[in-house]
Structure 1
Amino acid sequence: MMAAPDFPDLSASDRKILKALQENGRLSNADLARQVGLSESACWSHTKRLFDSGVIRGVRALIDPRAVQREIAVLVGVVLDRSTKDSFADFARAVRALPQVMECFLVAGDVDYFLKIRVHDLGAFNRFHSEKILALPGVRQVRTFFVLDEIKADGPLSL
């Protein structure tokens, strides 16, 4: 498990900036400054500090998965054959290299990991399952859940 970064204390202005950028990451600094009630230079200083300290990890476009033929979402629970630091590290390293895996969570409970995977269709998932998931280091058991409807995805953090 990674050590927690040492983040700066967030001011009210920082929180306003974070909220605004979560809603629209394309805001210019001038528009952002106007929206949060700061001068452009003060807004730039706050925003730069948020980026430099890692509070804001990046800005990217959210693409409709249907537009790029990745409309099928699958949640996969994975149980490893051993619960050791090395087996978890090996699994995590291997799963990071798989672009079809959108998210991966180490969890407590009946499985060790949950993966969120995006593929084009059932055949693509079947190939990915047999060629990639089962080949991940230490995999003992896999439980697959096909998403029927995405009610809420990629929501902003509550500030």
Structure 2
Amino acid sequence: MNTFPLTDTDRAILSELAADGRLAYTELAARVGLPVSTCHGRVRALEAAGVIRGYRADIDPEVTGASVNALILLRVLSHERDGIPALAEQLRRVPGVQQVYLIGGDRDFVLHVACASVPALRDLIARHIGSNPALAQSQTQIVFDHFRGLSPV
């Protein structure tokens, strides 16, 4: 993977877009102190370099009825390690899964899940985690609150 050298202006643009990806170029340019055409060109360059991967709606799971958030740490059986990419894809498709992280250490994955209730969380674990023959162990942590970092990079 190639890296893209970020200027302070690029970082300012990324910070503003991370906070509000729907900013009009005129507003973005004003916030970062650039002419609109220059700002537009910098954003296009960041997109072309893959720094900006896309723009998404930030949906609040709690507002949609999924008020129980949890982190589930998973260990893959040693003889199933070759199947980790396929397993990651399978885990991404589990209803309620918000994020899948492949990690180092004594666990292999961390799943961030959002469910309607603790019984729904228990059901998700039973159906998709506990019954998966590739998984050796799981540990579930309920999330009480989430504080998003302020740095976009």
Q: TM-score when scaled to structure 2?
A: 0.88
Q: Are 2:79 and 1:94 equivalent residues in the alignment?
A: no
Question: Is the contact made by 1:33 and 1:43 (CA closer than 8 Å) also made in structure 2?
Answer: yes
Q: Which residue of 2 aligns with 1:82?
A: 78
One-letter code aligned to 1:150: D
1:23-72 superposed Cα distances (whole Å, 9 cap, x missing partner): 22221001111111111111111001111221112222323322100110
Change (3 A) 1:42 1:86: same
Alignment of 1:3-152 (within 5 A): 5-82=1-78, 85-136=81-132, 138-147=134-143, 149-152=144-147
| CA displacement at 1:157 relative to structure 2 | 2.3
Q: Cα RMSD over matched residues?
A: 2.0
Divergent runs of 4+, >3 A:
none
What is the identity percentage for the equivalent residue pairs of Structure 1 and Structure 2? 29
Q: Which residue of 2 aligns with 1:157?
A: 151
1:104-141 superposed Cα distances (whole Å, 9 cap, x missing partner): 22222332211111110112112211111234461111
| CA displacement at 1:7 relative to structure 2 | 3.1
Structure 2 residue runs without a partner (length 5+): none
Question: Is the contact made by 2:28 and 2:39 (CA closer than 8 Å) also made in structure 1?
Answer: yes
One-letter code aligned to 1:23: A
Question: Is the contact made by 1:94 and 1:136 (CA closer than 8 Å) also made in structure 2?
Answer: no
One-letter code aligned to 1:10: L
Change (3 A) 1:89 1:151: closer
Structure 1 residue runs without a partner (length 5+): none
